[in-house]
Amino acid sequence: MKGKALSLWQRLKMQLSGYVYVGDRQRPGWTGSLPFYAFKCEKHGIVQDYPHGYWALWKDSIPIVVNGVLSQLYCLKCRKEERHE
Ligand SMILES: [Zn+2]
């Protein structure tokens, strides 16, 4: 899936709901895979991320319900920049 462009249907769905599921992925060091979603960042364009816990709502994050659990999507590039400020 890596680097694969979004299909027209995925783009449409993303515009309607704010995000679209792009597949389960595993990162190095992870024991399992997590669902990844594509969404639009005002600054970085279309980015992909997995849902994060909702313990603190980041600004500009997108609320998402995964398996009945409220989570959030946010742009990791933006979060990284904030930490360096
Ligand atoms: Zn961003």
User: What rounded mean pLDDT belongs to the chain?
Assistant: 86
Residue 37 has what pLDDT? 95
Asked whether residue 42 is domain-assigned, the answer is yes
pLDDT of 39-72, one tens digit each? 999 899 999 999 988 777 777 788 898 888 889 9
Residue at 72 is within a domain: yes
Per residue in 5-45, pLDDT (tens digit) is: 889 999 999 888 899 999 999 988 988 998 999 999 989 99
Distance 46 CA to ligand 1 centre (A): 9
Ligand 1 centre distance from Cα of residue 41 (Å): 5
- Whether 1 maps to a domain, the answer reads no
**Domain tally, the chain:** 1
Q: Which two tokens stand for residue 55?
A: 């313990």
Neighbours of 22 (CB within 10 A): 18
Q: 3 in a domain, yes or no?
A: no
The answer to whether residue 66 is domain-embedded is: yes
pLDDT of residue 27: 84
pTM of the model: 0.78
Residue 26 lies in a domain: yes
User: Which runs of consecutive H residues, i.e. helices, occur in the chain?
Assistant: 8-17, 76-84
Residues with CB under 5 A from ligand 1 (ion): 41, 43-44, 75, 77-78
Distance 85 CA to ligand 1 centre (A): 15
Question: Could you tell me if residue 2 is inside a domain?
Answer: no
Residue 76 lies inside a defined structural domain of this protein: yes
Domain that holds residue 27: 8-84
User: 81 CA distance to ligand 1 centroid (A)?
Assistant: 9
Residue-wise DSSP of 49-71: E--EESSSPPTT-EEEEETTEEE
* % of the chain exceeding 90 in pLDDT: 40
Burial class (CB in 10 A: 0-12, 13-18, 19+), 41: middle
